[in-house]
Structure 1
Amino acid sequence: MRYNGLTDFLSTGAKALAKGPVAMIFVEDLIEVESTITHHQNAGFAEVLVFAPDVLELPDAIENTIHRIPYAVAREGALQHAVNKIIDAAPGIWLYYCFNAEYLFHPFCETRSIGELLAFHTEERRNSVLTYVVDLYADDLSHYPNAVSLDHAYLDKSGYYALGRPDADGNPRERQLEFFGGLRWRFEEHIPPARRKIDRISIFRAKKGLKLRPDHTFSDEEYNTFACPWHNNITVAIASFRTAKALKSNAGSTFEISSFKWHNSTQFNWSSQQLLDLGLMEPGQWF
């Protein structure tokens, strides 16, 4: 279904938020939009909201299965504004957000749906899921100048690390870490410091008063924790071409990067087991 904008969706499309989990896909450009939508539909999301410019054209087979919301994603603060509006309209519903050319993976996703994961996570009394945004990149930039190729996707198999997240007084916050690695670490001279971390709370349960902040954390600090106080919890990963696309489309970096591959690159096989083996997500107590 197509709407006239976010306000129209919130007033006429409320039934799409009646049952979760609901995926929100923010379209920044026209690269791999269809594959992003299809991937998340196959993951088991009950509804998919697509925030996209009018110039995006989709096959009817996809267009008829999504909620299409015209939206200027590139506008400053646009993501936070839309997500927070959806939060206000869907208390108690599990929500997820990502950008185009990003693909969610969770432990055992080949045989277990996102709904099954969140049912278990709810029993664990958790309202958010820590997500690692794992950079993907094409192996040959002469053949794939925008750095995107699903069939020739690579990722870094090492080079990831975490630092404590300080509070206003400089003390580390309890059960909160900031994670780094991938292209944002290797090419950090081209990435503003505020955008270098790779952690995101991409899956969360909406509640009254909850707000997403510009750094992909939430106003409720418990939502920003990686685990409960008793044991480790499930974490998930988003395999993302977003940073590679940005580095190759930005005039300040594109001519300085001839390849993203290095000695710690490995081909991505599009499986949850590979991400588990690399330590880029974990099943917690879910077996």
Structure 2
Amino acid sequence: MKAPSLDAFLKKQGGSLPKGPVALVFAEDEIGLGSTLRHHARIGFENILLLARDDVVLPTDCVDLCHHIVKDPFNQDSLTAVVNKAIAALPGRWLYYCYNGEYLHFPFCENRSVSELITFITEERRNSAFTYVIDLYAADLDNNPYGYSLENAHLDSSGYYALTRWKDGGVMDRQLSIYGGLKWRFEEHLPWTKRRIDRVALFQAQSGLQLDEDQMFNVEEYNTYQCPWHHSVTIAICSFRTAKYLKSNPGSTFDVESFAWAKSERFHWNSQQLMDLGLMEPGQWF
């Protein structure tokens, strides 16, 4: 059954959601939507809130995987506003957010669930997991005009870099802005404010916590990549969103003949590849 809005859903069912993390999946269109829902259900999300247009068509096997909340991605609240509503309504719950065509990976996710990951993070006295958004793309755009292909997915094996963050003339403790992937190679088609590939996508809601339009939290510790005493686990969202944008945007589609380059590597859809490439960190998690 569809909910007419997030406010209505949270008021009626927010308090009765099963234990475990809550995933907010924002559907900008239907590309990869079914596989996104299946993937997140497979890694352990029992509470998936799909925010999508009223007329979105879900594959039959995905209907029972999510709660469909009606949201027009272009005419209603921004992602930031929606996330902040969920934070306010679900204090103490762990929340995760992504778009369709995005797939969460964390170290050893083939054999461990997202709830096990959260238990470990909590034991480290952390309330968030630093997230790298890794661009995926089809190498063959003739047969995949939107750059989306699960079978032909590629990623950049190098070309990533980090810059320290500054505030009030000083370096911010344990905070980095990460760049790379398609947003680096095709940066002329993206505004500066949209080129970062870091996102704190998995976190624990608390009273007063707010996400801003730069996808940064008002509690600075949430934006850090590790705890003060050792390396912490980091996670990755493998995302076709940038490829889809570059090929669907009239201002860039004709300038992009191929996403493939010398450092392209086929994505094998496993966490070990991402760790080997340094695109996420197991930390002290064994």
1:172 CA displacement? 1.6
Between the aligned partners of 1:113 and 1:254, the Cα distance in structure 2 is: 38
User: Compared with structure 1, are the counterparts of its residues 77 and 182 closer, same or farther at alpha carbon in structure 2 (3 Å cutoff)?
Assistant: farther
- The alpha carbon displacement at 1:46 in A equals 2.5
Are the aligned partners of 2:41 and 2:65 in contact in 1 as well (CA < 8 Å)? Answer: no
The size of the alignment, in residue pairs, is 286
Which SS does the other structure have where 1:281 is aligned? coil
Q: What is the aligned partner in structure 2 of residue 261 from structure 1?
A: 260
- Is the CA contact 1:107–1:283 (under 8 Å) kept in the aligned structure 2? yes
- Normalising by structure 2, we get a TM-score of 0.97
**Alignment match, 1:117:** 117
SS of residue paired to 1:64? helix
Structure 2, unaligned stretches of length 5 or more?
Answer: none
Unaligned runs of 5+ in 1: none
Q: 1:77 to 1:159 in 2, by over 3 A?
A: farther
- Deviation per residue, 1:124-153 (Å, 9 max, x gap): 000000000000000111110010000000
The percent identity for this pair of structures is: 54
Q: 1:151 to 1:60 in 2, by over 3 A?
A: closer
**2:283 equivalent in structure 1:** 284
Match of 1:183 in 2: 182
Shift of 1:20: 2.2
CA change 1:40–1:16 in 2 (3 A) is farther
The Cα shift of 1:171 comes to: 2.0
The CA deviation at 1:63 is 1.4
The question of whether the paired residues in 1 share the 8 Å contact of 2:38 and 2:65 is answered with: no
The TM-score, its normalising length taken from structure 1, stands at 0.97
CA distance in 1, matches of 2:7, 2:211: 19
Find the counterpart in structure 2 of residue 194 from structure 1: 193
Report the AA paired with residue 148 of structure 1: Y
Cα 1:16–1:2 change in 2 (3 A) is farther
Q: What does 1:32-47 align with in structure 2 at a 5 Å threshold?
A: 32-47=32-47
1:189-241 CA deviation, whole Å, 9 max, x = no partner?
00100010100000000000100111111110000000111001000000000
1:83-119 CA distance string (max 9 Å, x none): 1111011111111000000000000000000100110
Residue 218 in structure 1 maps to residue 212 in structure 2: no
Amino acid at match of 2:272: Q
Aligned-CA RMSD value: 1.2
The verdict on how the C-alpha distance between 1:195 and 1:75 changes in structure 2, with shifts beyond 3 A counting, is: farther
Q: CA deviation at 1:77?
A: 5.5
- Distance in 2 (alpha carbons) for counterparts of 1:72 and 1:16: 25
Once the two structures are superposed, residues 168-202 of structure 1 have per-residue CA deviations (whole angstroms, 9 ceiling, x without a partner) of x2322110000000000000000100010100000
Residue 59 (structure 1) shift:
3.2
Q: 1:76/1:69 Cα in 2 relative to 1: closer, same or farther (>3 Å)?
A: closer
Q: Which amino acid aligns with 1:220?
A: V
